[in-house]
């Protein structure tokens, strides 16, 4: 059950982050100019979360990252046991990426609010 939960969170979170990123780009191009700091923090968190989970993969896993991604969808070429293991790794990478994006966006938003509160009294 926990693996299924991580799979759903990873897929749904990746879809929502992609949709949100495209919406941000459209709004920015439309001329409304929102602050790009939070989406940048989310992107950095997404990448950092995925890389962090990749570093937790056991040392006996000999496939490189791109081959692991290919093996997770190609049972004919790599065999079912290897595909199943690669799928598990990719699921956890996606879960870590979504958690990293949420934390990155949240921390960037909090830091931006704190900096704004600090700078506003000085402007008066």
Task: Please give the pLDDT value at position 6.
Answer: 66
pLDDT along the chain (124 residues), means of 10: 66 77 67 67 89 92 89 86 88 87 84 70 54
- Helix, strand, or coil here: 47? helix
In total, how many domains does the chain have?
1
| Token representation of residue 7 | 């799979």
- pTM beyond 0.85: no
Residue 53 structural domain = 2-123
Task: Please give the pLDDT value at position 28.
Answer: 62
CA-to-CA distance for 34 and 25, rounded, in angstroms? 10
Task: Please give the pLDDT value at position 119.
Answer: 64
Task: Please give the pLDDT value at position 98.
Answer: 85
Task: Please give the pLDDT value at position 12.
Answer: 78
């Amino acid at each position: 059950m926990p693996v299924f939960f991580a799979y759903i969170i990873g897929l749904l979170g990746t879809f929502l982050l992609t949709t949100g990123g495209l919406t941000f780009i459209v709004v920015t191009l439309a001329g409304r100019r929102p602050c790009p700091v939070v989406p940048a923090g989310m992107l950095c968190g997404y990448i950092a979360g995925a890389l962090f989970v990749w570093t937790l993969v056991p040392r006996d896993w000999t496939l490189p990252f791109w081959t692991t991604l290919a093996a997770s969808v190609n049972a004919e070429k790599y065999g079912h046991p290897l595909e199943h293991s690669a799928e598990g790794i990719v699921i956890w990478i996606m879960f870590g990426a979504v958690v990293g994006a949420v934390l990155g966006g949240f921390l960037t938003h909090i830091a931006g609010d704190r900096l704004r509160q600090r700078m506003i009294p000085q402007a008066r």
